[in-house]
Chain A
C-alpha cells in the first residue's frame, strides 16, 4: 500500500507540474503571439508555394494533398519546437528549471502538451488551407481527426525530447531539423497514408496507419518520461 500511495503522489506531482508548464507556455504564446504571427503564416506560405509548384496540373496537386499537408506540418513543427525551447534557454532559465522542484517528467509532458496544442491549431488551419487551395475534400472525417490527434501526440513527444537534446548546443537551430526529420519520417508516412485513405473514401485502409501512429506516440511518450531528466542535465 505505501508503494501505491507513493506512485499515486508521484503521478500527481508529475501531472501537476505538467499543467504548470503547459499553462506557462500558453501564457507565453498569448503574450508573444509567435505561433499566430510567425509560424502560422509560414505554414500557409508553404502550402501556397506547393500550389505554385504543382498548380499547372491540378490533378497531381489533389493527389499529393495528404503528403503536402504533413510536410507543411513537419516544417512548421520545427519552428514550434525551436520556439518552445528558445524560451527555456534564454537568460539562464534552464538552470532555474534544474534548480526547481519540478518533476522532469512533468516538464517533458508540459512542454509536449504545449507543442501539441500549437501543432493542433496549425493543423486545423492547414486543413482548411488544403481544402480551399487544393480543392481536396476528405470523406472519412473520423479518420482525419484520429490521425491528426495521434500524429500530433507523437510529433509533440518526439519534438519535446529532441528539443531539450539540442537546447544546450550553440548549433541547435541547424541541428534540430537534421535530428528530427529522420525520426519523424514514420509519422509522415503513416499520416500521409491515413489521409490518402480518408480522401479516397477508403477509411478502412487508413486505420492500420493510425495504429502505427499510436505506437509511435506511446514509444516517444515513454522515452520522454524516463529520458528527459538526463537530457535536461546535459543541455
Chain B
C-alpha cells in the first residue's frame, strides 16, 4: 500500500525546543491510526507537522507525496485538521461558517449542506451564531467544515473532546466513512477504549519520538 504519511528521523523545533525529536512513522492509505501518549509528548505537534503548519527542520517528512521539508504549503489544501481550536468565526452562524470554509477549500455548496445534515446541524442550530453554541456544538460545526472539505488525510486532535455520547459515536462513524470513501485518518486521543475500537493500529508518542513504521519497514505496533 502507498504511504500517505512517511516520516524518517523527523525533527520539529518550536522555538529552540525540539517538540518532535526523531519521528519514524508510516501511515498507509486507508488506515485509521491512533496516536497515543501523555500530555506534552508531541502528538499535537506531529498532527500539525502533517498538516504543514509546523516546519520539519531535520530528517525526512512526506505527506500525500508532498515533501514537507522542501515546501510544506502544497499539502495544506489536501488535509483536514481538527485541532483544539475550532477555526470558526464567532459572529457568523453555523451555516455561514461551514459554507465559507468549504468554499475556501474549493468545495461545493452542496457538500457544505450535506455535511451540515450529516452532523445534525441543518435544523434550528444552522442559523445560530457560533458564539452562542456550546463547546460540543462548536466541535460539531468544526467537524462539519472538515466533512464538507472532503480531505484526503484527516488529522484529528482529541476529536471526541467536548462531545456527548451521540457526538462521539458520530465521530467514530465519520472516521469509518472517510476511510470507506478513500481517505486516511490519523488521530490523537486519550480515550483509549473508544479510540482503539475504531483504529486499525496505534502508535505511541513519547518525549517527541515515535516509532510507528509499517510491518516490513520496521516495528509495527498492533492495536491491543
Contacts and interface: CB of A to CB of B under 8 A. Distances in A.
A95 B104 CA distance: 13
Contacts of A31: 91-92, 129
Given A95-B53, A99-B76, A101-B77, A20 B104 contact: yes
Contacts of B79: 99
What interface size band does chain A fall in? Answer: 20 to 34
Contacts of B52: 99
Contacts of B77: 99-101
B81 interface: yes
A93 B88 contact: yes
User: Chain B contact residues (Cβ within 8 angstroms of A): what range?
Assistant: 20 to 34
Nearest to A34: B91
Interface in B166-214: none
Contact of A98 (B76, B85, B100, B145): B76
A28 B91 contact: yes
A3 interface: no
Interface in B56-104: 76-77, 79-81, 83-92, 96, 100-101, 103-104
Nearest to B138: A91
Contacts, number: 65
B104 A100 contact: yes
Contacts of B105: 100-101
A11 interface: no
A95 B101 CA distance: 12
Contact of B96 (A17, A27, A92): A27
B148 to A, nearest CB: 12
B69 to A, nearest CB: 15
Nearest to B85: A92
B89 A28 contact: yes
Contacts of B81: 95, 99
B95 to A, nearest CB: 12
B109 interface: no
Interface in A97-113: 97-102
B51 interface: yes
A98 B80 CA distance: 11
A99 B96 contact: no
A87 interface: yes
A92 B52 CA distance: 15
Nearest to B76: A99
Interface of B: 51-53, 76-77, 79-81, 83-92, 96, 100-101, 103-106, 129, 145
8 contacts: A91-B88, A93-B87, A95-B81, A95-B85, A98-B76, A99-B52, A99-B81, A101-B77
Given A87-B89, A99-B81, 6 more contacts: A24-B100, A90-B90, A91-B86, A96-B104, A97-B104, A100-B76
